[in-house]
Amino acid sequence: MPESLATRHDYEPRVLEPSRYDGKLYALPTVMATRLVAYRKDHFAAAGIKKPPRDWTELRAMAKQLTEGDRLGFDPFSIDLRQCWETFLYANGGSLFSADGKKVAFTDGRGVEALQFFKDLSADGSADYAKKTDADAGAPTNLQTGKAAMMMTGSGLWKQLQDQTPELIEKDLIGAFVLRNRKPAMLTGGTLVTQSAHSRHPAAARALVEYLAAPDSILAAAEQRATVPGLRELRSTSYVKKNKLVDFSLQNLGSACAEGGTPAWMEIREKIKPTLEPAVVGGRSAKSAIAELGRLAESAIARM
């Protein structure tokens, strides 16, 4: 696509990165989804905790401290396990693949440490995979019901709070922080629009792409889906200012990390959850699970 489309609107620089390949523009971003940690301010205050954790050592200690009765200190599992593990991997200074996408990078130890952290939280009793919220069912989350003091979630939680538990917003009881260990990391995905190279109607296809990527269209999509608009010019809109998790996400795009990095990604991504889950809920070691995932990824890359 012409590079001029990348400068037509005021995109956040980080937002355009997944739209490029070998330095060329192939798509335009519309809306984003982020993964962050939300927490109950009232639980923190009751425990005397004044600041979010600076690393995993503090996170684990806080999770233990906040675990009480049937309340979990931390619920990392109510988002997809793939996305959860990737966020922890990036926060641990790791990456999924080499820069050229031809080699697996998550088997260097950082990925094992991220998965082991889940096992450690579970062993402490401050996290429980069996108690994760069924996000697809639309049930109130563990954070909303008070059954978790901290929870991995996304900006879309704010819409759920507005619809189901507005009192938590009215009383200002929900805070957020970016997961961090060796570095801060906020997993970011989203929706791109592009034009087929073989379109029978290239002018119409280009016009549709430009329409969907225009500020009014992006804002409408973000409001409908409770997602994050990637244009600077939309930061001051009432939608962003009223959705504190969207606003928080935009303020922390410097910590954004994306999935993928290899043409084999779509095959690999579907194997992450079933490969890692036995280590989280069963007796399989983190090292063994990551090694198997590494072999599956290498096999997929070799076929490309």
* Nearest CA-CA partner of 52 in 204, 224, 174, 216: 174
Which pLDDT score is estimated for 133? 87
What is the SS3 assignment for 1? coil
Which pLDDT score is estimated for 134? 76
Mean pLDDT in order along the chain per 10 residues (304 residues): 92 85 91 96 97 97 97 96 97 95 95 98 96 80 97 93 96 98 95 94 96 95 92 93 95 92 94 97 95 97 93
Q: Which residues contact 228 (CB under 8 A, 6 or more apart)?
A: 31, 32, 33, 34, 155, 190, 222, 246, 249, 250
What is the SS3 assignment for 184? strand
* Nearest CA-CA partner of 183 in 13, 81, 95, 55: 55
**pTM for this model (two decimals):** 0.94
Which pLDDT score is estimated for 11? 87
Enter the tokens of residue 212. 């969907």
Asked if 38 contacts 243 with a C-beta cutoff of 8 angstroms, the reply is: no
- CA separation for the pair 122, 296 (Å, rounded): 26
pLDDT digits 0-9 by tens, 137-163: 778 999 999 999 999 999 899 999 999
Which pLDDT score is estimated for 136? 64
> Which one-letter amino acid corresponds to residue 30?
T
Which pLDDT score is estimated for 152? 97
Q: At what angle do helices 110-124 and 265-281 cross, to 10 degrees?
A: 30
